């Protein structure tokens, strides 16, 4: 299989923790510009797969390539972030004591320390980037408010905005709608679809209503490898998926 048009290419990847194979001969390919939803039972290896892609965990075996020919197993976590892979963990980690806009400014790509980021004159290009991100994360009306005053869902959106400020090519988003209201969950599906127009995205979620809203190809992981892959209708009709996950 050619890596040419792929943003992420995993083949034969395995990793064990104390003899337990959390990822077992995993192969997963994401095309440039694609958004993929990853589902599967607790312990299936979804988060560990993201740990491998971001360099947090080293695979024992297998190939991991980014953007065609970049061998991620040769890079560390900081390098991989610089190469253009942004990751959102489940719990929002915003700067609570800064206003919403400053949270984005502090995340803008490029070497900068806090004081110049907040007080130096911003370029027109930076202002435009911030405005564009506000449009996507639906928080323009909260620019000047303390991040601490946002709802849980809004903090998740702000953190997605902070990822966008670093201009990644690939975003990895782990359980973004956990703890959100139904309205926030639906808005998050729209927001991610908008982001996916210009980025490659992997979303891990247990919320099947949300996954349906995304309307993208689904990969079901189980015991560290791919159990089923295809449209949500295809995957949810797969008896093995029903047995280990959806039918619980």
Ligand X SMILES: Nc1ncnc2c1ncn2[C@@H]1O[C@H](COP(=O)(O)OP(=O)(O)OP(=O)(O)O)[C@@H](O)[C@H]1O
46-54, 96-104, 146-154, 163-171 -> range binding ligand X (CB under 6 A): 46-54
Burial class (CB in 10 A: 0-12, 13-18, 19+), 11: middle
Round to whole Å and give the CA distance between 23 and 48: 7
Assign residue 25 a region: left if phi > 0, alpha if psi is -120 to 50, beta otherwise? left
- Kindly state the smallest distance separating residue 11's Cβ from ligand X, in Å: 19
196 binds, among Mg ion, ligand X, none (CB under 5 to 8 A by kind): none
* 48 lies in the site for ligand X, by CB under 6 A: yes
Q: What are phi and psi of 34, to 5 degrees?
A: -80, 150
Minimum CB distance to ligand X smaller for 65 or for 245: 245
* 222 lies in the site for ligand X, by CB under 6 A: no
Q: Residues 6 or more apart from 16 whose CB is under 8 A from it?
A: 22, 60
Beta bridge partners of 14: 61
* Residue 91 token pair: 């719990």
- Kindly state the smallest distance separating residue 218's Cβ from Mg ion, in Å: 16
Beta strands in the chain (DSSP E): 6-17, 20-31, 35-39, 61-66, 70-71, 85-88, 170-174, 200-204, 218-222, 225-230
- Kindly state the smallest distance separating residue 47's Cβ from Mg ion, in Å: 3
32-40, 44-52, 95-103, 177-185 -> range binding Mg ion (CB under 5 A): 44-52
40-48, 75-83, 176-184, 226-234 -> range binding ligand X (CB under 6 A): 40-48
- Kindly state the smallest distance separating residue 52's Cβ from ligand X, in Å: 10
Round to whole Å and give the CA distance between 57 and 109: 24
* 244 lies in the site for ligand X, by CB under 6 A: no
Q: What are phi and psi of 59, to 5 degrees?
A: -70, 150
* 45 lies in the site for ligand X, by CB under 6 A: yes
Question: How many residues does this entry show for the chain?
Answer: 248
* 47 lies in the site for Mg ion, by CB under 5 A: yes
Fill in the per-residue mask, 3 to 32: x = in contact with ligand X (CB under 6 A), - = not in contact.
--------------x----x----------
28-36, 47-55, 103-111, 152-160 -> range binding Mg ion (CB under 5 A): 47-55
* 47 lies in the site for ligand X, by CB under 6 A: yes
* 42 lies in the site for ligand X, by CB under 6 A: yes
Query: Which residues make up the interface to ligand X (CB under 6 A)?
Result: 17, 22, 40, 42-48
Query: Which residues make up the interface to Mg ion (CB under 5 A)?
Result: 46-47
């Amino acid at each position: 299989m050619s890596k040419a048009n792929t943003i992420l290419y995993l083949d034969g990847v395995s990793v064990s923790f104390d003899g337990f194979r959390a990822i077992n001969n995993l192969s997963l390919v994401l095309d440039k510009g694609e958004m993929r939803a990853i589902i599967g039972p607790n312990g299936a290896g979804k988060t560990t797969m993201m740990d491998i892609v971001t360099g947090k965990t080293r695979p024992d075996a297998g190939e991991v390539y980014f953007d065609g020919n970049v061998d991620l197993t040769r890079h560390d976590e900081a390098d991989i972030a610089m190469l253009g892979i942004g990751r959102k963990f489940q719990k929002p980690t915003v700067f609570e004591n800064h206003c919403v806009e400053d949270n984005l400014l502090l995340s803008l790509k490029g070497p900068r320390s806090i004081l110049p980021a907040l007080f130096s004159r911003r370029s027109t290009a930076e202002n435009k980037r911030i405005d564009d991100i506000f449009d996507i994360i639906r928080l323009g009306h909260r620019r000047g408010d303390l991040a601490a005053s946002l709802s849980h869902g809004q903090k998740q959106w702000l953190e997605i905005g902070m990822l966008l400020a670093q201009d990644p090519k690939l975003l990895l988003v782990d359980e973004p709608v956990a703890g959100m209201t139904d309205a926030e969950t639906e808005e998050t599906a729209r927001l991610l679809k908008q982001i996916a127009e210009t980025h490659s995205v992997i979303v891990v979620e247990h919320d099947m209503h949300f996954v349906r809203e995304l309307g993208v190809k689904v990969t079901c992981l189980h015991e560290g490898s791919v159990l089923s892959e295809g449209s949500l209708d295809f995957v949810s009709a797969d008896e093995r998926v029903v047995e280990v996950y959806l039918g619980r």
